Structure 1
C-alpha cells in the first residue's frame, strides 16, 4: 500500500463505524486492521483513504507500548537482561475468569503461585508479560476496561501474595475482545477468551547451552 500527501487516514467509532478524527501515518501500527480505498496499478495500491476502528488502534498501541516498555524497564533495572528484544518463553499459564468478573478464583491463584515459584527457581533474570482479554459480550470499551482490571488483578496477586517485585513486570496489555493480527493463541470460545495470559520470559542468551 502506497500513501501520498493527499491520503486521508481516519479512525471510526461505534457500531455504525462513524468517522472520527484524522490520524497521522505514524498511527498505522503493525497489527492494526485497516480498510483501504484507492487506485490499484497491478500489484501496487495507492491509498486515497485509510480507515480503522479507534478501539483497534488502542489495542495496537498497547501492544507497541509493551514492546517499548520492555526496553525502557529493562534498561532501568539494576538486574539487567542481556540481548533485549530477544526474550524467550520459559513458562506460561492462563488464568480464567467468570463472566464480567475480574476476581481471581482459587484455581487461578494456584496457577499464579506455581509460575511465581518457577520464576524464583531460575538462576537468571526474568520478566513477566501479562495480557488481559475479554469475551465479545458487551461493547468494546467495556471489554477493554474489564481486560485491564483482570490484568491488574493478576499483577497485584503476584506482587502481594506471590512475592514478585514490581520491576519484574513488562508493561501489561489489555486487549479486550479485539482480534489480534497473527494471534498465536486465538480463544476457541467465550469462556477461553475470559482470561489473562502470564508468560515468564528470560533472555535468549540464558537459554543457550
Structure 2
C-alpha cells in the first residue's frame, strides 16, 4: 500500500512538473512583430502597426542590426539609441506578458537614414509640421502656414509646368509673410523598383524642388529645413497615404512659421 502511494505521489509530481514546463513554454512563445517605432523609452520601444501598439523590451542580449541591399544583407550592429521614432523595424523575440522581449531587432540602413532626416528636419511626418515642436534658427515652434504637392512622371525628377506654377504660388505666399518662415521639403516615390533606388529618386525630386525655389522663385537657401527623402517607405501616423502609384510620385512642400507669429 505504501509502495502504491509512493508511486502515485511520484506520478503527481511528474505531472505537476510537466504542467509547469508547459506553462513556461507557453509564456515564452516565439513572437515576431513588425512596424514603425513611435517611442523609445530606453529599455523599451513602442512599435505601431495595423494591429495597434506593441511594447518591445530590450535586454543586454538583444541584437540590433541594420541590413543593406536588395537581399537585406545583415550589416553592422547598432545601439538601442538608433531605434528612433519613424524607423521601420522587424522584431524577433518571445511573448513576455503583455509585451515582447526582443532577441533581435532588424531594420534597413536606408530606413535609418530616412528616419534621421525626418527627425532632423520635421520631427515627425511630412504632414505634421503643425503638431511638432522644432526650433530652427530661433524661429520658435513651427506651425503650418501652407502646403503644396507636386507630382512627377514615372522614374522622373523633372518638374512639369503645373508643378512650377504650384511652387511659384507657395513661394509668393512665403514672400508675402511679415514673419520668418521655413520650408520643409519631403520627396517620395512609388513602390516600383527596389527601395534603395526609390530613396535616391525621391532625393533627386526633393532637390529639384529646392533648386527651383532657390533659382526661379526667389527663396534663399537659409529658408529650408533639412529635406527628407522617403522613397517608398511607409510613414508613421501618415494622414495622407498615397492612394495609388501616381499619388506616391510626389514632393510635399510645407510652409511653416513660428507659432508665436500666428497667435492673436
TM-score (norm 2): 0.71
**Residues of 1 paired with 2:64 and 2:132: CA distance?**
38
Larger deviation, residues 19-28 vs 113-122: 19-28
Question: More strand per residue: 1 or 2?
Answer: 2
**Residues of 1 paired with 2:126 and 2:185: CA distance?**
16
- Please state how far the C-alpha of 1:19 moved relative to its aligned partner: 2.5
Q: Which has the higher contact order (CA 8 A, sep 6+)?
A: 1
What SS is found at the alignment partner of 1:109? Answer: helix
What SS is found at the alignment partner of 1:71? Answer: coil
Report the CA distance shift for 1:83/1:194 in structure 2 as closer, same or farther (over 3 A): same
**Residues of 1 paired with 2:208 and 2:133: CA distance?**
26
- Please state how far the C-alpha of 1:35 moved relative to its aligned partner: 1.8
List gaps (5 residues or longer) in structure 1.
Answer: none
**Residues of 2 paired with 1:93 and 1:202: CA distance?**
15
Pair member with larger Rg: 2
- Please state how far the C-alpha of 1:12 moved relative to its aligned partner: 2.5
**Residue 153 (structure 1) aligns with:** 208
**Residue 93 (structure 1) aligns with:** 148
**Residues of 2 paired with 1:65 and 1:185: CA distance?**
21
**Residues of 2 paired with 1:54 and 1:166: CA distance?**
28
Larger deviation, residues 62-71 vs 176-185: 62-71
Q: Cα deviation per residue 1:91-110 (whole Å; 9 max; x = unaligned)? A: 00001111111111100000
CA contact (8 A) 1:37 1:50 kept: yes
- Please state how far the C-alpha of 1:54 moved relative to its aligned partner: 2.3
Larger deviation, residues 155-164 vs 69-78: 69-78
What SS is found at the alignment partner of 2:88? Answer: coil
**Residues of 1 paired with 2:134 and 2:69: CA distance?**
45
CA contact (8 A) 1:102 1:150 kept: yes
CA contact (8 A) 2:133 2:141 kept: no
CA contact (8 A) 1:90 1:201 kept: yes
RMSD over aligned CA atoms reads 4.4
TM-score (norm 1): 0.88
Q: Cα deviation per residue 1:22-53 (whole Å; 9 max; x = unaligned)? A: 11111101021222222333113221111122
Q: Cα deviation per residue 1:154-201 (whole Å; 9 max; x = unaligned)? A: 111111111011111101001111111111211111111111100000
